[in-house]
Structure 1
Amino acid sequence: MRSTEREGMRAPFVDLREYLALLLAPTLTVGLAVLALGGRENLLAGSLVGAMFGAMLVGYRRLFHAVRTDEGIERRLTEVGDTPEENEWVRLSETLDELYDERYDPVLAVALAVVGLGAFAAVPLSDGTPRTAVRLALLGLFGITTSLMTAGFALSR
């Protein structure tokens, strides 16, 4: 018998309330701060940044679960199995390993490099607005970085 079953019952509604609080608090805080400091046109971007931070907090909170004991609510470390029968992520990983074909890694690396270099080449040819230039530069960085990562994984095998 596990320690959570011996010493208390799980409290899933406490977990759910804390997940929602951890997601919504940074979203609203950053969103409202951006609204106050940057204007209405930046509200969505500020809320998305806050939501990403909140999602990271929820991810860390998922390492624990709430247990109702005689002394009150306790947080305990969640036990995770490493066999496919106990953990759905291990099952997914094994399924993807079976479906993944490594022969296409060089083709993917070249395609991502072409996208990255094409985006960098399109910066001087764009309409000249800073927003478009930043988007093209970010796309170029993404393409080149993922291309190098893919090539590195392909060469390391």
Structure 2
Amino acid sequence: MQSCRPEPFGILLAEITIDAAGFIVNQLDGAEVFTELASSEKVTYHDSCHLKRGAGVWKEPRQLIETAGHDLVEMAHADRCCGFGGSYSLTSHPDIAKNILKDKLNDIAASGASCVAMDCPGCMMQIRGGLEKEGSQVRTQHTIELPAEALRNKK
């Protein structure tokens, strides 16, 4: 065990790790699984900073939303930060984070979507909290919950 260095292992693990949306869309051929599903729900997508910029994943979550039978509506500035930024919103600069969140909530509202999907738990807390504080009826879902929900509702 002493000869096993974590750095090479981490690199190897990172090379074979893929996002769940990418796995369903690219590996499982998600379109075949969801062929009979249809929904008129308009869903917009928030790109998390880590997933889009860090991992380069942005197409697959959108494909999964559409594959699961939803009407994808792009919001303006979908790839802009929601203001959470780890502890940024809580300790470092909460006033700046609130303004960033306000812009994100305006973009969500302007999209006309009844649901905003995302993949980052931090973004989920930030956006859900902001929507609830506003009294918005827009629901938040992790992207992977949408196909699961569609399969549960399949008749």
TM-score scaled to structure 2, two decimals? 0.27
User: Greater relative contact order: 1 or 2 (C-alpha under 8 angstroms, separation 6 or more)?
Assistant: 2
